[in-house]
Amino acid sequence: MTTTDTTTHESTDASSADAHPAVRRGASHEGHVDNTVRIDAPLDLVWDMTNDIASWPGLFTEYSAAQVLEPDAEGPGFTFSLSMHPDDNGTVWSWVSHRQPDREALEVRSYRVETGPFEFMDIFWTYTVVGGTDGDQQSVDMRWVQDFRMRPQAPVDTAAMTARMNANTAVQMTVIKSKIEAAARSGASHAPSTEGTS
């Protein structure tokens, strides 16, 4: 895998359930999207920039707004809302999700609370450090696994959404990689945004 490409694996077969630790619903005909990008930047910077929800509109190209709504009573989890830029019909899609980051394990689990056209949407992120010893540049392999199924009345079926999400995830990962690597080259440290966190 090069430092500029994303690695993609896709399946709509629930037999892929054992291939990753994301939450599974045990039903057939699920969408499964699995993408990895290598980011040439220190782990702390990669983790901080990709887990600062309020700054996501500046990190992703698809979100117009992001806001932390409520922290869990215990632990680091929280609910948050996302809004996309208007689509070709002028519709703004928004939803609420729950996110559970684990800095020690270098993983994040999340799921949609407001599922919209999905029957469910489960997302699992992992971060794997590459290099960083003997003076080598530290890099991070950031992996996103998304498992979902569309509702029968949704405007697209699960197979079509799988293809769409694979294409869009590759775009977003490339953009995020570029922005984090630029921050690393500038020597900047990421200060979490305070906007939308209350």
DSSP 15: G
Whole-model pTM: value is: 0.82
The model's pLDDT over 113-172, given as tens digits with 9 standing for 90+, comes to 999 999 999 999 999 999 876 666 899 999 999 999 999 999 999 999 999 999 999 999
Identify the burial level of 152 via C-beta atoms within 10 angstroms of its C-beta, where 0-12 means exposed, 13-18 middle and 19 or more buried. Answer: exposed
Quickly tell me which residue has 């290099």 as its tokens.
131
The model's pLDDT over 70-116, given as tens digits with 9 standing for 90+, comes to 999 999 999 999 999 998 889 899 999 999 999 999 999 999 999 99
The band of 16, judged by pLDDT with boundaries at 50, 70 and 90, is very low
Please give the Cα distance from 92 to 90 (Å, whole number): 7
Q: Strand pairing of 63-71 and 6-11?
A: unpaired
Phi, psi (deg, nearest 5) at residue 174: -65, -45
Please give the Cα distance from 66 to 104 (Å, whole number): 25
CATH numbers and ranges of domains, the chain: 6-52+102-186 (3.30.530.20)
Please, are residues 118 and 149 in contact by the beta-carbon 8 Å criterion?
yes
3-state secondary structure of 186: helix
